[in-house]
Chain A
Amino acid sequence: MKSADKTLTRAWVRAQSRPARRAASPAVFAGLASTALGVAQAGLIATALAAVLTAVGVPDRLLAALALVLVLRALFGLAQERAAARAGIVARRRLRGSFLRAVVAAGPPLLRRQHSAAVAGTIVDRVDLLDGYFSRWIPAATLATAGPLIVLAGVWWLSPRAVWVFVCCGLAVPVGQAVFGIGAARAARGQFLAMMRLQSRFLDRLRGIATVVLANAEEREAVALGQAADDLRRRTMTILRVAFLSSAAIDVAMVAAIVGVVLLYRHDLAAALSGHPGGGHAAGTVASALAALLLAPEFFAPLRAMALAYQDRAQAASTAEAARDLESAVELGSESPDFGSGVTLVVENVTYAWAADRGPALRDVSFTAGPGDILVLDGPSGAGKSTLVEVLLGFVQPQSGRVLLNGCDLADIAPAALSGAMGWVGQKPVLFAGSLRDNLLFARPDASAEALDHAVRAAAIDRFLPLLPEGLETRVGEGGFGLSGGQAQRIALARAILKDAPLLLLDEPTSHLDPETEAVVVDALRHVARGRTVVLCSHSAALRALGTRRLDLARGVLMEAAA
């Protein structure tokens, strides 16, 4: 990790933990109260035991007080758990909200950089993984310093001679953790990468499982998945080896404290007992010794809780990186030009390259189109037609030149205003889980029944509707599974028709349709296109016949605009 990245990571973690600490304060308070009651509990048990050992007898009041302390302590424990869960939810809700905003702001170009499974993983798993950070680590980190201090005060009060044993053993813990903590953060990052790779790989392989199976490659893919899982194991073990070392350091310190207390009080007890057998002084020394012994686990419990939550902390740093990956440099526009009377599209000297080393996909492209124009983009596969459509959609910003809609630069138009102006049918329409009706209404949720009916007929969906078990209510799976490519394409067309926007971008809208269905769709598009600005990429003769102008693209250069 570069040091600039590290600074950014630290800044992000700090920014996250400030409000989270506020949310966690009830949990911290309950935890402190519970620790204080633990000190009281140790004192009472030690006093009772000392009374038994020195044959003084245990007063009933002592037992009653102990019972009260025990119940109170359990209640505070209950309160602490609930408060911690609440803190986790508050923090996760806030974080997920900010991730969702970042994803929406980054928009379509994000999918060029990241697999959609990775994006979804950031929104869902990344945030939920941080539940431990918010609900366990943050309270535990505060309690790990305050808790032992409270216990130490108790030791000082109950058995002052043991204080230095506790201080020495206690100080050994942060030293050990500082040593091991550095390795853990680095390992956590490695583990997250391995996990995301495993997830992306699974989703990708599952999506293509038909291809894998029909190629008789399932065995090889299974082995490859096994290797990925093994990689995950090795990385996870690297983290755990370190995390376990830091909790082993606590074990060592606690055992040392217990043995130290026994050795320390061995001489005291011998002296006290030989001096005044059965006397009050002896009872006091015995009580001190026992209290110190009972307080040793109490002293290390907050540190142990922190060590257990350490993995949760390590997750925060890698989430900071995932959060940075979502950020986009693109500034969203804010202007809202009037598109009520149609859209005039002006493309001025647009040049665009997907990657610097591949050369520009579009080179100095210029043209103009107004309402009533149906512009047919022509050119061989890979000539830059789809790239041009992406630029017109505003998904990508040209490196030079600009696109104007009614005189306003596309980059300056607010996304909401832009989406109001545009209809689009892409090559790979995405259908999501839900009914066919939901998928259609996606384009315009408030569409009337008539409008929906019209769109269904215009896109020739009514031709396959009777074949579906529940008509428009039929559920379609991811990728429109259950529908053929042509059927999915008609859904996308119906969406565009339903949306009724003044600028239409059609990228191979009929490529999966048979001639008969295509004729219906072309007829509908003829009506839809009337008075609108249309840019069309298609190899279909019937559709191209609708065109009023033709533009030829070859290797990113606009050749000729012929009639």
Chain B
Amino acid sequence: MSRMSSPRPALSASAALREIAGVWTPYRGRLLSGMAISLLALACGYLLMGSAGARLAGLVTGVAVSTLLLRVGGLGRIILRYAERLYAHDAMFRALAALRVWFYRRLAAGAAAGLGFRRAGDLLARLVGDVETLDGLYLRLALPVAGLCVSLPLLVWLGWRVAPMMGLGLGGLFLCGAVVFPLLAAWMARGSAAEVSAAESSLRVAALDLATSLREARVFGAEARLVTAVQRREEALYAAQTRQGRRLAVAGFCAGLCGQAALLLVLAALGGVLLPGNLVLGVALLFVVIAAFESIQGLTRAGLLAAQIGHAARRVVEIAHEGPATESGLVIAPMTGEIVFRDVSFSWRDEPRHAARPPVFTHLDLSVRAGERVALIGPSGAGKSSLAALLLKVAAPTEGTISFGGVPLSELDTASLRARIGWLSQATHLFDDTIRANLLLTRPDAGDESLWRALDAAEIGDFVRALPEGLDSWVGEGGARLSGGQGRRIALARTLLAETPVLVLDEPANGLDAETERAFLATLNRISRGRTVLLIAHRLVGVEQFDRILRIADGRIESVPL
């Protein structure tokens, strides 16, 4: 299954970064304060080195230079450096947490139909990896670049005071080392950053394949093949990282040469004719030059980072942008009402190719009155589950209209509609959490009494009572610590807990043994009295009590005599 969405033009990295900056608006104060502390710390470092050089030179030439600046610079550097690191990191992590939550919200608004053809492993890489790459945006990109605003004017000003040409020369060399070569690195890295992150992503997918299919691998003797697949992608990752590292190292080497040239320039100028006053200044300048070029050593790496961040930002924003398959309307859904499908055609679309699959059904009509119990029978792949998806506004029909209580679904508030419809399907997910947490998903305010009632209705209460930890027992990944039947019953209890007027049951008894299945369907008859029920199944067991039975086949619905 995948969702309907139209192809969009590719998002530019800067547009993505603007969007992320928007998410961070509440943290702007913290982020800017961190930046201010960082600039002050940098200035103190220059003060320390410059005044130490000037003090010694002053002693030799007899020019009085105070040691006060030396002390202020030293103390300021120690304290401000620590404060900067702590404050800026904390601000960044807050902003990142906000970004994670924003991303999940956007995804939930868009990807209700599930992960589609996107891999969960790939998504995980995007979510965790890309969001973490984005922390470099502030700490390792914005802060050092802001530092240039202190370093460059200082160098040019000090150099100009020694000799105007010196100011221009130093400014030029500094610009080369701090801007030109890092930008060059960023430009060269643009391709390789994409290559590295694609390689990382595919390594993660291979590792996840190995981890999830350990059982299959053991049975089919495929362990060696899966391991080889992981290792092949691992080598591709190393190759990409090596290529990237080589380019970066060369750009860093060139930037380093700029610093060395600046040093020689100052020394050569000092060796020429200089007045005593300028001599002290010249020595101070030399020390500041050393410190300034040391501070930009990491900038070529930041150039690479800029490319990586651009990529990460684009992927994060792109996936967050994938809009909902259906728009939410404003009308609150009525408590209950007739469900009507009129002349509905539907086909799923494949992402990312956006190619339409063959229609699941065309010109379909169906109506279920409030309180009516209807069974919909048909072979797998006939579109039974698609009907449920349409009803829950997970997908929109390609043609025709669907209404609930006389209101077209497109005009209904999606959340209120979903609050009226309880849904249980073969795709219902049990979270790797406690039984209690799994149940509370549909009704967070439910008390233990309601939980037990729902569990008993699903005929799993006795089992849970017998567990040493009762409601707080862990169900495992996808309910792995339970048997198939037990897991389905917990999911059923969760659906029942919501006490919705409409129940859509998509193969609810699947995986239960015949005896329990009958008992369970009997329970279902009892608890669903007074509710609208749409049961979707590939066959009936015989104990169900329905008002109508419909058969869906070849995209059409026909009535089956009771």
Interface flag for A561 (CB, 8 Å)? no
Interface flag for B367 (CB, 8 Å)? no
Cα A112 to Cα B515 in complex, Å, equals 29
Interface flag for B2 (CB, 8 Å)? yes
B381 to chain A, nearest CB (A): 5
Q: Are A293 and B56 in contact (CB under 8 A)?
A: yes
Q: Knowing A58-B267, A381-B485 are in contact, say whether A116-B208 is a contact too (CB < 8 A).
A: yes
Which of A75-83, A139-147, A403-411 binds B?
A75-83
Out of A214, A358, A380, which one reaches B423, CB within 8 Å? A214
**Chain B binding site: helix, strand, loop or mixed by DSSP?**
helix
B404 to chain A, nearest CB (A): 15
Q: Are A123 and B97 in contact (CB under 8 A)?
A: no
Cα A92 to Cα B238 in complex, Å, equals 10
Interface flag for A54 (CB, 8 Å)? yes
Out of A120, A222, A469, A515, which one reaches B104, CB within 8 Å? A222
Q: Are B225 and A386 in contact (CB under 8 A)?
A: no
Interface flag for B236 (CB, 8 Å)? no
Q: Knowing A77-B253, A218-B108, A286-B56 are in contact, say whether A208-B207 is a contact too (CB < 8 A).
A: no
Cα A19 to Cα B485 in complex, Å, equals 51
Cα A107 to Cα B226 in complex, Å, equals 13
Cβ contacts B230-245/A at 8 Å (1 or 0 each): 1100100010011001
Interface positions, chain A 378-426, Cβ under 8 Å from B, are: 379-382, 386, 393-395, 415-416, 419-420, 422-424, 426
In the complex, which residues of chain B have a beta carbon less than 8 angstroms from the beta carbon of A433?
Answer: 119, 121, 205, 209
Q: Are A103 and B210 in contact (CB under 8 A)?
A: yes
Residue in B closest to A483 when the chains form the complex, CB atoms:
B381
Q: Knowing A485-B426, A514-B379 are in contact, say whether A255-B48 is a contact too (CB < 8 A).
A: yes
Ordered by A's residue number, 21 sampled pairs between the chains whose C-beta atoms are within 8 Å are A70-B263, A74-B260, A82-B245, A85-B245, A108-B215, A110-B214, A117-B208, A204-B433, A215-B498, A222-B105, A225-B104, A237-B90, A258-B70, A262-B55, A380-B515, A382-B486, A386-B484, A394-B218, A464-B380, A478-B115, A482-B117
Which of B5-13, B57-65, B158-166, B334-342 binds A?
B57-65
Out of B90, B101, B112, which one reaches A229, CB within 8 Å? B101
Complex A-B, nearest 6 residue pairs according to Cβ-Cβ distance, in ascending order? A208-B429, A381-B485, A419-B221, A486-B380, A514-B538, A58-B271
In the complex, which residues of chain B have a beta carbon less than 8 angstroms from the beta carbon of A523?
Answer: none
In the complex, which residues of chain A have a beta carbon less than 8 angstroms from the beta carbon of B212?
Answer: 116, 430, 432, 478
Cα A239 to Cα B129 in complex, Å, equals 20
Out of A128, A382, A430, A512, which one reaches B216, CB within 8 Å? A430
Interface flag for B23 (CB, 8 Å)? no
A95 to chain B, nearest CB (A): 11
Q: Knowing A442-B216, A514-B378 are in contact, say whether A123-B207 is a contact too (CB < 8 A).
A: yes
Which of B183-191, B506-514, B525-533 binds A?
B506-514
Q: Are A293 and B52 in contact (CB under 8 A)?
A: yes
Cα A58 to Cα B468 in complex, Å, equals 86
Cα A432 to Cα B98 in complex, Å, equals 32
Q: Are B124 and A117 in contact (CB under 8 A)?
A: yes
Out of A104, A252, A469, which one reaches B357, CB within 8 Å? A469
- How many residues belonging to A are interface residues under a CB distance threshold of 8 Å? 157
Interface positions, chain B 260-284, Cβ under 8 Å from A, are: 260, 263-264, 267-268, 270-271, 274, 279, 282-283
Cα A327 to Cα B505 in complex, Å, equals 42
Which of A45-53, A169-177, A341-349 binds B?
A45-53
In the complex, which residues of chain B have a beta carbon less than 8 angstroms from the beta carbon of A93?
Answer: 234, 238
Cα A393 to Cα B283 in complex, Å, equals 79
- How many residues belonging to B are interface residues under a CB distance threshold of 8 Å? 157
Q: Are B108 and A66 in contact (CB under 8 A)?
A: no
Q: Are B271 and A57 in contact (CB under 8 A)?
A: yes
Interface flag for B456 (CB, 8 Å)? no
Interface flag for A495 (CB, 8 Å)? yes
Q: Are A70 and B260 in contact (CB under 8 A)?
A: yes
Q: Are B216 and A53 in contact (CB under 8 A)?
A: no
In the complex, which residues of chain A have a beta carbon less than 8 angstroms from the beta carbon of B203?
Answer: 124
Cα A416 to Cα B220 in complex, Å, equals 9
A255-B77, A430-B216 given; 20 more Cβ-contact pairs under 8 Å? A63-B267, A85-B241, A100-B210, A119-B211, A209-B111, A209-B114, A210-B113, A210-B429, A212-B441, A216-B415, A218-B109, A233-B94, A258-B48, A262-B70, A269-B60, A358-B468, A419-B218, A432-B212, A469-B355, A512-B426
Cβ contacts B337-368/A at 8 Å (1 or 0 each): 00000000000001000010110000000000
Out of B59, B82, B294, which one reaches A245, CB within 8 Å? B82
Out of A77, A104, A110, A206, which one reaches B227, CB within 8 Å? A104
Interface flag for A333 (CB, 8 Å)? no
Interface flag for B19 (CB, 8 Å)? no
In the complex, which residues of chain A have a beta carbon less than 8 angstroms from the beta carbon of B283?
Answer: 49, 53
Cα A248 to Cα B209 in complex, Å, equals 44
Interface flag for B150 (CB, 8 Å)? no
Residue in A closest to B108 when the chains form the complex, CB atoms:
A218
Cα A117 to Cα B507 in complex, Å, equals 28
Interface flag for B444 (CB, 8 Å)? yes
Interface flag for B18 (CB, 8 Å)? no
Interface flag for B394 (CB, 8 Å)? yes
In the complex, which residues of chain A have a beta carbon less than 8 angstroms from the beta carbon of B59?
Answer: 265-266, 269-270, 273
In the complex, which residues of chain B have a beta carbon less than 8 angstroms from the beta carbon of A63?
Answer: 264, 267-268, 271
Residue in A closest to B101 when the chains form the complex, CB atoms:
A226
Out of A211, A394, A419, A422, which one reaches B441, CB within 8 Å? A211
Cα A460 to Cα B199 in complex, Å, equals 37
Interface flag for B392 (CB, 8 Å)? yes
Q: Are B124 and A70 in contact (CB under 8 A)?
A: no
Q: Knowing A112-B480, A430-B216 are in contact, say whether A262-B241 is a contact too (CB < 8 A).
A: no
Q: Knowing A124-B203, A381-B486, A477-B117 are in contact, say whether A111-B123 is a contact too (CB < 8 A).
A: no
Cβ contacts B472-503/A at 8 Å (1 or 0 each): 00001110110111100000001000100000
Residue in A closest to B256 when the chains form the complex, CB atoms:
A74
In the complex, which residues of chain A have a beta carbon less than 8 angstroms from the beta carbon of B218?
Answer: 107-108, 393-395, 415, 419
Interface flag for A339 (CB, 8 Å)? no
In the complex, which residues of chain B have a beta carbon less than 8 angstroms from the beta carbon of A215?
Answer: 418, 441-442, 494, 498
Q: Are B123 and A206 in contact (CB under 8 A)?
A: yes
Interface flag for A240 (CB, 8 Å)? yes
Q: Are A427 and B511 in contact (CB under 8 A)?
A: yes
Cα A512 to Cα B426 in complex, Å, equals 9
Q: Are B108 and A464 in contact (CB under 8 A)?
A: no
In the complex, which residues of chain A have a beta carbon less than 8 angstroms from the beta carbon of B427?
Answer: 210-211, 485
In the complex, which residues of chain A have a beta carbon less than 8 angstroms from the beta carbon of B211?
Answer: 103, 111, 116-117, 119-120, 123
Interface flag for B458 (CB, 8 Å)? no
Q: Are A206 and B115 in contact (CB under 8 A)?
A: yes
In the complex, which residues of chain B have a beta carbon less than 8 angstroms from the beta carbon of A214?
Answer: 112, 392, 394, 418, 423
Interface positions, chain A 199-243, Cβ under 8 Å from B, are: 199-200, 202-223, 225-226, 229-230, 232-233, 236-237, 240-241
In the complex, which residues of chain B have a beta carbon less than 8 angstroms from the beta carbon of A205?
Answer: 104, 431
Interface flag for B74 (CB, 8 Å)? yes
Interface flag for B194 (CB, 8 Å)? no
Q: Knowing A419-B220, A469-B357 are in contact, say whether A230-B97 is a contact too (CB < 8 A).
A: yes
Interface flag for A445 (CB, 8 Å)? yes
Interface flag for A549 (CB, 8 Å)? no
A236 to chain B, nearest CB (A): 6
Q: Are B60 and A273 in contact (CB under 8 A)?
A: yes
Interface flag for B453 (CB, 8 Å)? no
Q: Are A539 and B517 in contact (CB under 8 A)?
A: yes
Cα A74 to Cα B260 in complex, Å, equals 9
Cα A421 to Cα B244 in complex, Å, equals 47
B307 to chain A, nearest CB (A): 18
Q: Are A478 and B119 in contact (CB under 8 A)?
A: yes
Interface centre among B59, B70, B81, B444, by most chain A C-beta atoms within 10 angstroms, is B59
A466 to chain B, nearest CB (A): 8
Out of A89, A247, A258, A485, which one reaches B507, CB within 8 Å? A485
Cβ contacts A89-105/B at 8 Å (1 or 0 each): 10011001100110110
Cβ contacts B121-158/A at 8 Å (1 or 0 each): 10110011000000000000000000000000000000
